[in-house]
Amino acid sequence: MDWQVLTRELSLYLESQVRVGLLGSGVGLSLVLGFGVAYACYYLSSIAKKPQLVASNDRFCRFLEEYCPVVTETYYPTIWCWEGRVQTLLRPFITSRPQVQYRNELIKTADGGQISLDWFDNNDSLYYPDASTRPTVLLLPGLTGTSKESYILHMIHQSKTLGYRCVVFNNRGTAGEELLTPRTYCAANTEDLEAVIHHIHSLHPSAPFTAAGVSMGGHRQMLEKLFDIDLVMKARTVREFDKQFTSVMFGYPTIDDYYEDASPCRKLKSVGIPVLCLNSVDDVFSPGHAIPVETAKQNANVALVLTSCGGHIGFLEGIWPRKCTYMDRVFKQFVQAVFEHGNKIINM
């Protein structure tokens, strides 16, 4: 987009809409035009930018540039709410919620717990009518998130258009399911996720399989047997909650031990399959200074897409961002690229 063209069009629009007599003189129009042009210039020069693509593997970079071009295109965040905190707060309220019909499945865990899976089978798929070979996308909601989140519904909608099947992993104690054991989940524990992956693969062993996670509830009667819930509920920050509850539940000596174990810095080096990570540097929960860029560069299977704006699970774009977001477009293109052209980056 040419900023000169934008400012000229803005000026013409304002001239047609705002009367010269605004505020009693032509001064008002001049102020409006001046502010509009200045804001447009600032937006195009400082806000709308191409994301930074971080990848040490040239082969992976070329793959993304060819089959997932959105990661190299300028991201134009919604012009009236581009700031990270605003995007983070508005996303759940402003984006639409596509209708999705789920099939629920409850599976038991080795310790007697229960996990709820919500399936979108996409049996009407025209591209993959054979259910046994229909590509499957495992979706992992963020902290306290479930299959009902707007961003999950949009990811399913994108997958539906491509003919894929989706299954949403609802963590223990969320999505209204009963908590059968005094244990929920945390960012460092993957036992339940591993169980779900094995379960899905056993049901559809011939189907291509990938996963997409976003960011990182409970029932009191079961938890208060082991925890001082009154103390836990007094927490006013995420760190206080993790100190009183999460780190204790999973046996960490201190909160710092839990955070160190959960940090992606320690895990990126072990990633053995191609992974694309999208993060905004103005993310209020995962800010730019905390993104392990140098560690990611040490693994050929990891690529980072860093936008200047977008907040936490925001990435709103367009004048009225009700539907598709930048994150949705990245998800759709990358998942399609993996399923249809993944052989070009496997075993890099």
Enzyme catalytic residues: 215, 283, 312
* 179 neighbors 106 (Cβ within 8 angstroms): no
* 154 neighbors 328 (Cβ within 8 angstroms): yes
Upper half-sphere CA count for residue 98 (Cβ side, 13 Å): 19
H/E stretch holding 159 reads helix 150-162
Amino acid at 314: G
H/E stretch holding 120 reads strand 114-120
CA torsion, ordered 17, 20, 26, 31, to nearest 10 deg: -10
Q: CB-based contacts of 56: which residues, under 8 Å, 6+ apart? A: 296, 297, 298, 299, 300
Phi-psi region of 165 (alpha: psi -120 to 50; beta: other; left: phi over 0): beta
What three-state secondary structure class fits 182?
coil
DSSP string covering 250-289, please?
TT-SSHHHHHHHH-GGGTGGG--S-EEEEEETT-SSS-GG
